[in-house]
Amino acid sequence: ETGVTQSPTHLIKTRGQQVTLRCSSQSGHNTVSWYQQALGQGPQFIFQYYREEENGRGNFPPRFSGLQFPNYSSELNVNALELDDSALYLCASSWDFSTDTQYFGPGTRLTVL
Amino acid sequence: KNEVEQSPQNLTAQEGEFITINCSYSVGISALHWLQQHPGGGIVSLFMLSSGKKKHGRLIATINIQEKHSSLHITASHPRDSAVYICAVRSVQGAQKLVFGQGTRLTINP
C-alpha cells in the first residue's frame, strides 16, 4: 500500500474525446509525476509537477496537460484522444523530485476506440 | 538505442533458483531504482541505489557506476516473486524524471 490512489481504474473513450485522470498523493508529497505505460513497455515520463508548477516534461504533445492542487491531488488531461493514447497511466508522488523514492498509484487503464 | 536496457526480457525458473536480472544504462545518473510491477499495474519501489549494494530480505541490488550496470538478485525464488521487474534511472541532466527500462517478466514455477 503506497498511499497513492488513482481514479478511475478503467476508462473507455472514443477518438477525439477528452479525458481527465485523477491522482491523490500522500499528504506532504510536493511532487507528482505522470507516466504512460503502453502494453509490454516500460513507463514513459509525461510531466512532473512540484508545488503546483510544471517542473519538467517528456516528449508528449501539448494536448497532454496537468494540474496539481494544494490538497496533494492532481489531474492529467488529454484532449483529442488518439488510438495510440490507449495505455496504463501511472502517477507517482514523493516529497522531493530529485532525491526521493517515488510512490506509485495503481494506475488508470485507458482504452481509446 | 534506449538509454536503459534490461536483460533478459523474459525469465522462467523453478522455485528455489537464484535469479539475476541485469540493467545497463548509457547516461550519467544520480540514482537507479529497481521496481516491481504485478499484473494489474501497481508498481512498488524495491530499491534506490547510487552506489554499492543494498539487501532487503531475499532481494539484493548492486550497482557499478563506472560500468553503468546494475543487477537485481533474488535468492531462494518463490512463485510469489513472479512479476515484471523494472530498472529506472534518474539522470543528472533531467533530474525530474525517471527513465525506465522495458522490464523483465519473471515467472517462478512451483
Sort out which chain A residues have CB atoms less than 8 A from B10's CB and list them.
none
Q: Is the pLDDT of residue A72 over 90?
A: no
CA B43 from centroid of its chain's CA atoms: 12
Q: Which residues of B touch A99 (CB under 8 A)?
A: 30-31
Lowest mean pLDDT among A35-39, A48-52, A100-104, B56-60: A100-104
When CB atoms are compared, the residue of B35, B42, B86 closest to A106 is: B42
d(CA A25, CA B58): 29
Q: What angle do CA A23, A27, B44 make, to 5 degrees?
A: 60
Mean pLDDT taken over chain B: 93
**Chain B residues touching A98 at Cβ < 8 A:** 30, 90, 95-96
Kindly report, residue by residue over A78-87, the tens digit of the pLDDT.
Answer: 999 999 999 9
* Mutation for testing the A interface, residue in B45, B47, B89, B97 having most A CBs under 10 Å: B97
Query: Of B41 and A32, which is predicted with more confidence?
Result: A32
pLDDT grade for B17, boundaries at 50, 70 and 90: very high
The more confidently predicted of residues A90 and A99 is A90
Q: pLDDT at residue B95 above 70? A: no
pLDDT of residue A96: 65
Q: What are φ and ψ of residue A60, in 5° steps?
A: -120, 145
Please answer whether residues B85 and B36 qualify as being in contact, where contact means their C-beta atoms are separated by less than 8 angstroms: yes
* CB contact B7 to A (< 8 Å): no
Model confidence at B91, pLDDT cuts 50, 70, 90, reads confident
SS (H, E, C) chain B: CCCEEEECCEEEEECCCCEEEEEEECCCEEEEEEEEECCCCCEEEEEEECCEEEEECCEEEEEECCCCEEEEEECCCCHHHCEEEEEEEEECCCCCCEEECCCEEEEEEC
Q: How many CA atoms lie within 13 A of B16 on its CB side?
A: 1
Of B4, B86, B96, the CB nearest to A48: B96
Distance from CA of B77 to the nearest CA of A (A): 23
A46-71: per-residue pLDDT in tens?
A: 999 988 999 889 999 999 999 999 98
Of A44, A50, A107, the CB nearest to B41: A107
Could you report the per-residue pLDDT of A4-61, keeping only the tens digit for each? 999 999 999 999 999 999 999 888 888 999 999 999 899 999 999 988 999 889 999 9
Q: Which residue of A has its CA nearest to B34?
A: A101
